[in-house]
Amino acid sequence: MKSEPEDVSIDDLAAAPGQTVPWTGVRNYQARNFMRDAMRIGDLAFFYHSGCAEPGIAGICEVCSEPYPDATQFVAVDPYFDPKSSPDKPRWWLRDVRFVGKSRYIPLAELRAHPELAGMRLLARGNRLSITPVTPEEWTFITQLMERQ
- Give 63-103 pLDDT, tens digit per residue: 999 999 999 999 999 999 999 999 999 999 999 999 999 99
Instruction: Give CA–CA dist 98/61, Å, rounded.
Output: 5
**Sequential pLDDT tens for the chain (149 residues):** 999 999 999 999 999 999 999 999 999 999 999 999 999 999 999 999 999 999 999 999 999 999 999 999 999 999 999 999 999 999 999 999 999 999 999 999 999 999 999 999 999 988 888 999 999 999 999 999 998 86
Helix or strand run (H / E) with residue 137? helix 136-147
β pairing state of 96-107 and 93-94: unpaired
- State the distance between the two ends of the chain, measured CA to CA, in whole angstroms: 23
Cα separations in angstroms, 144 against 25, 44, 97, 106, 147: 30, 15, 22, 11, 5
H-helix or E-strand spanning residue 144: helix 136-147
Q: Can you give the pLDDT at residue 126?
A: 82
* Count of C-beta atoms within a 10 Å radius of residue 21: 20
Residue 73 three-state SS: helix
